[in-house]
Amino acid sequence: MQIFLAYLFLGLGLITPAVLNRFMLSRWFPFWWNQRWVRGALFLCAVACVALYVIFLAGAFLHFAPSRTMLGLAMILAWLPQLALLISLPLVILWQFASRRFLQLLEKQPPSEVDLRRRRFLQASGSILPLTAVGASVTGVTSAMGGANSFIEKLSLPGLPPALVGLRILQLSDVHLGGFMPTQYLAQTLENARPHKPDLIVLTGDFADDFRLVPKALEMLEEFPAPLGVFAILGNHEYGNGVEEYRSLVANSRVQLLVNTGHRIIVGDAALYLAGVDDISGRPRATGRKRYMESCVRLALRDRRSNDFPILLTHRPDTFKVVADHNIPLTLAGHTHGGQAAVAGKSWLQLVGAEDYSWGFYRHGDSLLYTTSGAGQWFPVRLGCPTEAVVFELGKGGKIEGLSV
- Read out DSSP for 268-334? TTEEEEEEE---GGGS-TTS-HHHHHHHHHHHHHTT--TT-EEEEE-SSGGGHHHHGGGT-SEEEE-
Residues 182 and 224 in one domain: yes
The answer on 288 and 275 residing in a single domain is yes
pLDDT values of the chain reduced to their tens digit, one per residue, 405 residues = 555 665 676 677 778 888 888 888 888 777 677 888 878 888 888 887 787 777 767 766 665 544 455 566 676 677 777 777 777 777 766 766 675 666 566 555 555 444 545 555 444 545 554 545 445 444 444 444 568 999 999 999 999 999 999 999 999 999 999 877 889 999 999 999 999 999 999 999 999 999 999 999 999 999 999 999 999 999 999 998 899 999 999 999 999 999 999 999 999 999 999 999 999 999 988 888 889 999 999 999 999 999 999 999 999 999 999 887 788 999 999 999 999 888 888 888 888 887 889 999 999 988 999 999 999 987 777 888 999 999 999 998 655 555 555
Residues 131 and 156 occupy one common structural domain: no
Q: At 337, which helix (H) or strand (E)?
A: none
The domain boundary, picked from 108, 143, 178, lies at 143
8 Å CB contact between 204 and 169: no
Measured at the CA of 364, the angle between CA 270 and CA 375, to 5 degrees, comes to: 75
Cβ 75 vs Cβ 49: under 8 Å:
yes
Decide if 356 contacts 371 (C-beta within 8 A): no
pLDDT in tens, 96-152: 667 566 656 655 555 544 454 555 544 454 555 454 544 544 444 444 456 899 999
Query: CATH number, domain at 284?
Result: 3.60.21.10
User: DSSP character for 400?
Assistant: P
* Burial of residue 241, with CB atoms counted within 10 A of its CB: 0-12 exposed, 13-18 middle, 19 or more buried: middle
* Same domain, yes or no: 183 and 120: no
Q: Are residues 110 and 157 in the same domain?
A: no
Given its phi and psi angles, is residue 167 left (phi above 0), alpha (psi -120 to 50 degrees) or beta? Answer: beta
What's the chain's average pLDDT? 82
Distance CA 87, CA 46 (A): 16
The SS3 call for residue 353 is coil
Please count the structural domains in the chain: 2
Segments forming the whole domain that contains residue 61: 2-143
For the chain, how big is the Rg over CA atoms in Å? 25
Which of 111, 143, 175 lies at the terminal end of a domain, its last residue? 143
Of 118, 143, 168, which closes a domain? 143
Query: Please, how many CA atoms are within 13 Å of residue 309, restricted to the half-sphere of its CB?
Result: 23
Same domain, 18 and 156: no
For residues 370 and 291, state if they share a domain: yes
> Do 330 and 155 meet the contact criterion of CB atoms below 8 Å apart?
yes
How far apart are the C-alpha atoms of 238 and 206, rounded to whole Å? 6
